[in-house]
Structure 1
Amino acid sequence: MLKVDDINVYYGNIQALKGVSLEVKEGEIVTLIGANGAGKSTLLKTLSGLLKPKSGTIHYLDGSISGKAPQSIVKTGISHVPEGRRVFANMSVEENLELGAYLRKNTKEIRKDMEHVYELFPRLQERRKQISGTLSGGEQQMLAMGRAIMAKPKLLLLDEPSMGLAPLMVKNIFQIIEKINREGTTILLVEQNANMALSIADRAYVIETGKVVVSGSASELQSSEQIKKAYLGGH
């Protein structure tokens, strides 16, 4: 579904991604783990068109999306839930969700999908007229995910969905990620909480200083002593 081949990405003169290659197959949950500043968010921003690779290719479905504008990439069926939620703070929950569907025309379908988002996140339905900036961190995360789902993505890019959330909320968010995946959306997940990420993923890539250093099935990585020591709090 998605094939990233040898991409190099720079911020000015600083190289953030160094020859990164990875693959996401349809129906999978693939996770990227690594320390802060390793290049995980940079990779997601490049996939969604917010950053342009200097070289290398990004192949998605039947064509190349390397260097395409973000709005063209959304049209192909990729939605990005950015780190730090980025909800439209002065707008209501419902207005945020409607914005997620701004490229879609069928009002009936949009309504149906909004009902579905409310089924996934009952808390949002209770707060649908509330101004988004007044929601808790966990509720804003739900809203950011709900807004992305409203675009009807084939591939969902999730950047640090558990960041700053209470343990119970983290568990809830991860259960919803699994449900979204079971319903047919492929997921590429960037996550600091490596234990949680590996527990729901099919496969994983470890990024260090802009390079993929290890990849394999999530269960292999979970049982690897090297990974346990570096990322899973193992001794």
Structure 2
Amino acid sequence: MLMIRDLNVYYGVIHALKNVSLTVDQGEIVTLIGANGAGKTTLLRTISGLITPRSGEVLFEGRSLVKTPAKEIVRMGVSQVPEGRRVFATMTVEENLEMGAYLRKDKDGVQKDLEMVYSRFPRLQERRRQSAGTLSGGEQQMLALGRALMARPRLLLLDEPSMGLAPILVQEIFSIIQEINQAGTTILLVEQNAHMALSIANRAYVLETGQIKHSGPAAELAQSDEVKKAYLGG
């Protein structure tokens, strides 16, 4: 579904991504783990069309995303849940969700998906008239996920969904991610909580200073001494 080949991204003279190659197959959860500053968010922003690479390919279902406007990439079926949630704080929960469907013209379908999001996140339904800025961190993360789902993505890019959340909420968010995947959405997950990410992913890549250092089945990487030492506290 997604193929990245020899991707090189620069910020001025800083070489942020160095010959990065990875694939995501339809129906998978693939996770990308690595320390802060490794280039994980840069990779997601490049896939989303927010950053133009110096060289390399990003293909979604065989079509190049390089130099494709970000809104066209959303229209093609790729949505991103950004790091830090980025909800529209002064707008209501429902208005935030409607913003996720801004490219869609099928009113009935949008209404149906709104009901689907509310059934998946009952707390959002309870707070649908509240401004998003008044929600807790966990509720804002649910809203950011719900807003991305309103675009009906086939590929969902998740950037640090557990950041800043209490452990019990981290469990809840990861359960929801698995449910979204089981309902048919392919997921590329960037996550610093390597334990949780590897526990739900099919495959994993480890990014270090802009380069892929390890890749393989998530269960195998979770058992790798090198990965354990660097990312799993052992």
Q: TM-score, normalised by structure 1?
A: 0.99
Residues 71-86 of structure 1: matches in 2 within 5 Å?
71-86=71-86
Q: Secondary structure at the match of 2:109?
A: helix
Give the structure 1 partner of residue 37 of structure 2: 37
Once the two structures are TM-superposed, the CA of residue 145 in structure 1 deviates from its matched residue by 0.5
Give 1:228's aligned residue: 228
1:131-210 equivalence runs, <5 A: 131-210=131-210
Deviations 1:155-193 (A, max 9, x none): 000000000000010000000000000000000000000
Q: Tell me how far apart the structure 1 counterparts of residues 21 and 134 of structure 2 sit (CA, whole Å).
A: 40
**Match for residue 62 of structure 1?**
62
Percentage identity across paired residues of the two chains = 67
199-208 or 57-66, which deviates more: 57-66
Counterpart-to-counterpart distance in 2, 1:62 and 1:44 = 18
Q: Give the root-mean-square deviation of aligned CA atoms.
A: 0.5
- In the alignment, the residues of structure 2 paired with residue 15 and residue 225 of structure 1 have an alpha-carbon distance, to the nearest angstrom, of 28
Amino acid at match of 2:98: E
Deviant stretches of 4+, over 3 Å: none
Deviations 1:67-118 (A, max 9, x none): 2110111111000000000000110000000010011111111111011101
One-letter amino acid of the structure 1 residue matched with residue 69 of structure 2: A
Consecutive unaligned residues in structure 1, runs of 5 or more: none
Counterpart residue number, 2:4: 4
Whole-angstrom CA distance in 2 between matches of 1:120 and 1:193: 23
| Residue 93 (structure 1) aligns with | 93
Q: 1:130 aligns to what?
A: 130
Output the CA distance in 1 between the equivalents of 2:134 and 2:49.
30
SS at structure 1 position matched to 2:86: coil
Separation in structure 1 between the aligned mates of residue 141 and residue 49 of structure 2, nearest angstrom: 22
- In terms of mean alpha carbon deviation, does 58-67 or 25-34 score higher? 58-67
> Aligned AA for 2:19?
G
Give the number of aligned pairs: 234
* Residue 120 of structure 1: how far off its partner (Å): 1.1
Counterpart CA distance in 2 for 1:155 and 1:51 is 18
Q: In the TM superposition, what is the alpha-carbon distance from 1:52 to its structure 2 partner?
A: 0.5
1:119 Cα deviation from its structure 2 partner? 1.2
